[in-house]
Amino acid sequence: MKTTFLKRYPSAPALKTVAAPLLVFIAITFCCGKAFADTGKPANPFGLVYQGAITENRTDQVNIRSLTYQLNGLEIAANIYTPANFNPDKKYPAVVVAHPNGGVKEQVAGLYAQQLAQQGYITITADAAYQGASGGQPRNVDKPANRIEDIHGMADFITQYAAVDVDRLGLLGICGGGGYSLSAAQTDKRFKAVATLSLFNSGQVRRNGFMDSQLDTIQTRLQQATEARAQEAAGGESLYAGDANMTDQQIAALPFEMYRQGYEYYWRTHAHPNSTFKYTMSSLLDLMRWDARDQIELINQPLLMIAGSKADSLYMTEDAFAKATGTKDKQLFKIPNASHIETYWKPEYVKQAMDKLATFYDQHVK
């Protein structure tokens, strides 16, 4: 099936038009299309792009193993991190890590997976189906059911992995992966503790726009998504939302800090060629009727939600936290002065998040 970019949306120079918030929102699915060389950093042999990433496997340090497994007929690309001095004859607790929208396992998900392995956990993070290095056609389908199934699939795989204690499994979802983790944990009780970092409720924002900025265009966008699906079903080209190639000046003019910093993170400082901000327009049929808060009261496991105190996405974490009434053990931790994207990479904020996560998982998983 051929693919083409959706042309119904304004080009980057038109960002100040009435339609701008929609393009801004769609584009910032947090990703990039740039090669490693554009970052000015040497290529990591494992493809990792975060600070302090593993560059070689040594027996006395955290190790990484890249592998693939099958999930519903698709090949899923994953990285597994094992603690220093890993002994396959021992039993270890494990944590599944779900990456942000448009992100890949080599970015922030890998950073937190590696640091959790440093705390003694076996961790897994995998590219979502139809995205990154994982299989699936057409490329960059972005449907909640797929992302939730990805999380169940990571749990399936890691609980069969040598040395993993199946009764000590935790879940961490970052950004969009946080919203999908809330859904997965509602019914998958293999997860003994659930944490989110900088939650992004993909359905809420795809439907309403960031900070409810697109309430007046919901039906128009649903009609566009409907037409895109009909075109695919008839054997036509797949239409894509989120196509943009912005200059530094255009990035600086974006109305929300999360978007400005997101472009810098995914396009500049932590770029990865498998990370892309486009997704099929037909995905909106599924995204716009889904919400991370739906049936959130089914979560009865211990819950930790972390977000930056200055994040303009904080409202999504606070709202979901308030509605998570089914658990008797829940914590909301706001990292002082941190924005959404800064929790992905800024050492002082990553450390604070990791300190909370380590204590949380040590208490409920380890």
pLDDT digits (tens, 9 = 90+) for 156-184: 999 999 999 999 999 999 999 999 999 99
Tell me the CATH number of domain 3-364, given options 3.40.50.1820, 3.40.50.40, 3.10.580.10, 3.40.50.970.
3.40.50.1820
**Is 116 in contact with 361 (CB distance < 8 Å)?**
yes
pLDDT in the model for residue 28: 33
Give yes or no for residue 14 having a pLDDT over 50.
no
Give the CB-side neighbour count of residue 282, counting CA atoms within 13 A: 17
pLDDT in the model for residue 243: 63
Residues belonging to the chain: 366
pLDDT in the model for residue 19: 33
17 sits in the region (left: phi over 0; alpha: psi -120 to 50; else beta) called beta
Give the CB-side neighbour count of residue 315, counting CA atoms within 13 A: 7
**Is 105 in contact with 77 (CB distance < 8 Å)?**
yes
pLDDT in the model for residue 296: 98
Q: What is the mean pLDDT of residues 332-343?
A: 98
What's this model's pTM, rounded to 2 decimal places?
Answer: 0.89
Give yes or no for residue 41 having a pLDDT over 80.
no
- Amino acid identity at 20: A
Kindly tell me the sign of the dihedral angle through the C-alpha atoms of 28, 341, 311, 191: positive
Q: How confident is the model at residue 205 (pLDDT cuts 50, 70, 90)?
A: very high
Which one is predicted more confidently, 36 or 285? 285
